[in-house]
Structure 1
Amino acid sequence: MAFNVTLKQSGRQFQVEPDEPVLTAALRQGIGLPYGCKNGACGSCKGTVVSGQIEQGAHSSSALSNDERTRGMALFCCATAQTDLEIDVREVAGVGDIQVRKLPCRVMSIERKADDVVVLKLQLPANERLQYLAGQYLEFVLKDGSRRSYSMATAPHEEGPIELHIRHMPGGKFTDHVFGAMKERDILRFEAPLGTFFLREESDKPIVLLASGTGFAPIKAIVEHAAFKNIGRPMTLYWGARQRKDLYLMELAEQWAKNIPNFRFVPVLSEPDAADGWSGRTGFVHRAVIEDLPDLSGYQVYACGAPVMVESAQRDFTQHHGLPADEFYADSFTSAADLANPV
């Protein structure tokens, strides 16, 4: 017997089957709820159970703490309904309007941009075009059924291949293959578009873009999309990495700063090498934002990259520097390792 789920803020309703995650049911019925990893690791789908009972599935304690659970919060990507529910969670307009598809693709090129980063370009079949929002991601479906998620770095308006930025994780089955055996013209399969990390175009607030490592990929899509649409809102990109070589497309970001009105670029290194001769900003990248913008009450923030960076930024920006909680948008790069100690 299916259960009814009511969204507190809008009053919209949908049905969830027994043992079906609440998020899955919502997306299946065209209702956009926030999500990222869909495996209990990132916390993007977190909300409150106002009434009713759920069973919370395995998840990372950093995504949902025991204290949050006692206060009625849940991760809807891995929560199943035991009764009818009323839930309080932010709805996302626009996501439900785009069809999620499974498509084959061909590896068009593999270009090494750093010791541990490649830019992978994928060619779709002739006459196929993927509709998506700038900032969303795709999931490769591997032969054993497992999946690997990567943000699309290509803006949606662009013709041609889909670009991904892939960091090598030694011992990782997929990235070992990408950096070892993968070759041009190989065939892969993916599902897309996924995720609720994309530019909210209806706002007129200035934007802070916050990236670490290959978290630059969806930010690239957002910036190029905004420039294409002549969105003139002030936009500042803070891109953090350990050393200069890890800012693998720094020249592109510098070019944006020269050519895009109201756009600033602030690179930040946490462990600069003496050989780099680095004279720019140092330290944690989210702290650089706070140094420049101690009052974030009038901003939107889009953060993407390592979970520790995203979590630190969200906590500090919203608790201590005035950023409204619903103006922090994040895509946390989680992996199976992030669920190594689920609760």
Structure 2
Amino acid sequence: MTYRLRIEPSGHEMDIEANETILEAALRHGYALPYSCRSGTCATCKGKILAGSVDYGDVDEKMLPDEEMEAGFALFCQATPLTDLSIEAREVGAAAGIEIKTLPSRVARIVDLAPEVRALFLQLPSTQEFRFLPGQYIDILLKDGSRRGFSIANMPGPGAQLELHIKHVPGGQFTGHVFSTMKEKDILRFEGPLGTFFIRDDWPERPLLLAATGTGFAPIKGMLEQLFANPDTRDIHFYWGVRYAQEFYYQELLQEWQARHPNFHFHPVVSRPDASWNGRTGYITTAIGADFPQPKDLVAYLCGHPDMVFDLAESLEQSGLDSQYIFSDAFVFAKSKTS
């Protein structure tokens, strides 16, 4: 069964299959809606059903409370049509037309960054063009049909490899392989680029707030490379929170950026410091609240642990920052998904 889907306010119309989610249909037709996890666990894709009815799919009540569902909201990565549909969604023009591909890659380098973090550098086929925006991610496709999503930690360029930051998860199938048996020249298949977490150019006068925990630094690194490659005079504040100081990495690069770009301000925060740490302590949500009690003029990009992402987004909104200026990528554990 095929239905019609209309996106407002753009007026774009397209076919949508009965077993196809709203997000899948939009992406298939080249229209990018805001999204991240694609598994119903981050709420980035939440939007309103203006007309028609849907099967809401496998929805976590925390991501879509009953009162929001009754008000017409749905998670577009889960909702499938039961009738023709009209929805309200803010399309992401910068991502439109970027093709999502399934490609092989070769592990060119493996580099230890921190005690439990490794960088993989993936070499792509020379015959394939792979376009992406700094901040997007790829899904590594495993042999059992499951996927593991990792942010791209660099900006695109001729012949550029894809840099991924992998944190060792105890008992994790893929991360265990990365830290034990993976070797250079191994072949990995992936799908991407995915997600709509990247720098917007809509508000060039607004200072930027970038916030990350752990390997949430990966997409932020790519974003910063992009900002510094295209001289930007806006103030850029980057808050990076970790548990222990030894979990920070790329310190020389961050110091170099601070020396070369006077508008760049790095704020490291450690939640479980030892006696050797003399910097800020606690959580970055608290630090940002203290430094920006009235954040209404910022554009914020938040990435990392979902507790930080959701709590900081809520705190910024309550302090006066309109939600249209908040973009996030919560590192949730996606549900298994076959390719």
The verdict on a shared fold, with TM-score over 0.5 as the criterion, is yes
Please list, as runs of the form range in 1=range in 2, the aligned pairs for 1:182-193 lying within 5 A after superposition: 182-193=182-193
Count of aligned pairs: 336
Give distance in 2, aligned partners of 1:68 and 1:272: 40
1:155–1:222 CA contact under 8 A, matched in 2: yes
Please list, as runs of the form range in 1=range in 2, the aligned pairs for 1:11-160 lying within 5 A after superposition: 11-157=11-157, 159-160=159-160
1:107–1:122 CA contact under 8 A, matched in 2: yes
2:332 to 331, 334, 340: 334
1:9–1:88 CA contact under 8 A, matched in 2: yes
2:217–2:240 CA contact under 8 A, matched in 1: yes
The one-letter code of the counterpart of 1:41 is: T
- What TM-score results when the alignment is normalised by the length of structure 1? 0.94
Is 1:206 matched with 2:207?
yes
Give distance in 2, aligned partners of 1:337 and 1:115: 27
Give distance in 2, aligned partners of 1:338 and 1:17: 22
The one-letter code of the counterpart of 1:78 is: Q
Is 1:254 matched with 2:258?
no
1:157–1:225 CA contact under 8 A, matched in 2: no
Give CA deviations for 1:174-209 in whole Å, capped at 9, x if unaligned.
111111110111011111111100111232111000
Structure 2 residue matching 1:174: 3-state secondary structure = helix
Give distance in 2, aligned partners of 1:118 and 1:271: 22
Structure 1 residue 158, shift from structure 2 partner: 6.2
Give distance in 1, aligned partners of 2:256 and 2:72: 47
Q: 1:317 to 1:139 in 2, by over 3 A?
A: same
Please list, as runs of the form range in 1=range in 2, the aligned pairs for 1:208-287 lying within 5 A after superposition: 208-274=209-275, 277-287=276-286
The one-letter code of the counterpart of 1:262 is: N
Gaps of at least 5 residues in structure 1 are: none
* Residue equivalent to 2:296: 297
Structure 1 residue matching 2:93: 3-state secondary structure = coil
Give distance in 1, aligned partners of 2:334 and 2:31: 27
Q: 1:337 to 1:127 in 2, by over 3 A?
A: closer
1:107–1:185 CA contact under 8 A, matched in 2: yes
Q: 1:97 to 1:336 in 2, by over 3 A?
A: closer
277-286 vs 214-223, which deviates more?
A: 277-286
Give distance in 1, aligned partners of 2:109 and 2:209: 31
1:117–1:165 CA contact under 8 A, matched in 2: yes
Give distance in 2, aligned partners of 1:59 and 1:185: 40
Gaps of at least 5 residues in structure 2 are: none
Structure 2 residue matching 1:15: 3-state secondary structure = strand
Structure 1 residue 336, shift from structure 2 partner: 4.1
The one-letter code of the counterpart of 1:96 is: A
2:119–2:166 CA contact under 8 A, matched in 1: yes
Q: 1:338 to 1:64 in 2, by over 3 A?
A: farther
2:31–2:97 CA contact under 8 A, matched in 1: no
Structure 1 residue matching 2:198: 3-state secondary structure = coil
The one-letter code of the counterpart of 1:209 is: L
Structure 1 residue matching 2:193: 3-state secondary structure = strand
Structure 2 residue matching 1:290: 3-state secondary structure = helix
